[in-house]
Amino acid sequence: LDAGLVYNSWPKFAESWVPENMLTRAPMWRNFFENDAYLTLMTITATWLLYYVPVWLASLHQCGSMTLLSFALWLTNELRRVPK
């Protein structure tokens, strides 16, 4: 996998933020292992997250998402109890 040969314009992928041919293979699971556009995007994203995002900020982001998920589940449960 050579990202420079797949897309040589950074940070965009040929004038778009998400590659247009990212999920084009059939069946869908083949994209995760054989599609160069998908693998390039995932590799760049994972590398950026590992090397440029501080651990405290990533942890804070995960705590915020868990809080939001918990609130959404609680609200859904409460709204079910409302009489029609």
Domain that holds residue 21: 1-52
| Distance (Å, whole) CA 39 – CA 45 | 10
Are 59 and 41 in the same domain? no
Choose from 18-22, 23-27, 51-55, 63-67 the range with maximum mean pLDDT: 63-67
Are 16 and 48 in the same domain? yes
| Distance (Å, whole) CA 84 – CA 23 | 43
pLDDT of residue 21: 82
Are 46 and 61 in the same domain? no
Encoding tokens for residue 13?
């992928």
CB 23 within 8 A of CB 41: no
28-74: per-residue pLDDT in tens?
888 888 888 888 888 888 888 888 889 899 899 999 999 999 999 99
In this prediction the pTM is 0.52
Are 42 and 58 in the same domain? no
